[in-house]
């Protein structure tokens, strides 16, 4: 009986502790952009490409604002969104989008901090980035000047009306 009990414990232990967590392979950044370009062509939209990381509070704040009840439909009606995860800690490297760092470097964002974003046309060509006129990353806009600059970027890359842009501005200034 003792051997049977030991065998059962050994089998349970093997299945409980012996297996490693299976990770779903992440889609490569180039493939994500290729798919976004196809979708943008069909929907006649531009691509809002944002770089983010799990540890980035400002990234989460920007996501919250964009996805807010007031802003979500405005952004979704004008942009195809792609988020590339980069700059993760050693323990979270598995969260990074494969190839994301190379695309971040392509747009000179590797030293900019997060969030960093670019807006691309349906062919993947750069229309705007989050660098201000002084070459500083706008990140998540919070001050009046930052929000004003962000609104100008949106104005240049979307069909958002002045009324819609004012709604977005209000959300970004209020949080």
The Cα–Cα gap between 164 and 42 comes to 23
Q: State residue 175's pLDDT score.
A: 62
3-state helix, strand, coil in the chain (%, to 5): 50, 15, 35
Average pLDDT in the chain? 89
The answer to whether residue 150 scores a pLDDT higher than 90 is yes
Element (H, E) at 44: none
CB 47 within 8 A of CB 122: yes
In this prediction, residue 26 carries a pLDDT of: 75
Name the DSSP letter for residue 88.
Answer: -
pTM: 0.84
Q: In order of start, what are the domains of the chain with their CATH numbers?
A: 44-174 (3.40.30.10)
Higher pLDDT, residue 8 or 108: 108
The answer to whether the CB of 39 falls within 8 A of the CB of 80 is yes
Q: Is the dihedral angle over the CA atoms 145, 147, 62, 42 positive or is it negative?
A: negative
Residue 56, helix vs strand vs coil: coil
pLDDT at residue 154 above 90? yes
pLDDT higher than 60, residue 137: yes
Instruction: Summarize pLDDT for 42-95 with one digit per residue, the tens.
Output: 999 999 999 999 999 999 999 999 999 999 999 999 999 999 999 999 999 999
Is 70 exceeded by the pLDDT of residue 6? no
- How far apart, in whole angstroms, are the C-alpha atoms of residue 26 and residue 24? 6
């Amino acid at each position: 009986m003792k051997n049977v009990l030991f065998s059962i414990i050994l089998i349970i232990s093997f299945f409980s502790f012996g297996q490693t967590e299976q990770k779903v392979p992440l889609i490569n950044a180039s493939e994500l952009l290729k798919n976004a370009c196809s979708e943008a062509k069909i929907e006649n939209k531009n691509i809002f490409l944002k770089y983010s990381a799990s540890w980035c509070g400002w990234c989460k704040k920007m996501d919250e604002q964009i996805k807010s009840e007031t802003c979500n439909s405005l952004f979704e009606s004008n942009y195809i969104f792609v988020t590339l995860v980069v700059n993760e800690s050693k323990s979270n490297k598995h969260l990074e989008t494969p190839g994301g760092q190379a695309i971040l470097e392509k747009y000179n964002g590797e030293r900019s901090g997060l969030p960093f974003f670019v807006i691309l046309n349906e062919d993947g060509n750069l229309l705007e980035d989050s660098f201000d006129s002084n070459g500083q990353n706008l990140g998540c806009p919070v001050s009046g000047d930052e929000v004003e600059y962000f609104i100008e970027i949106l104005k240049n890359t979307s069909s958002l009306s002045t009324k819609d842009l004012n709604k977005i501005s209000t959300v970004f200034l209020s949080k």
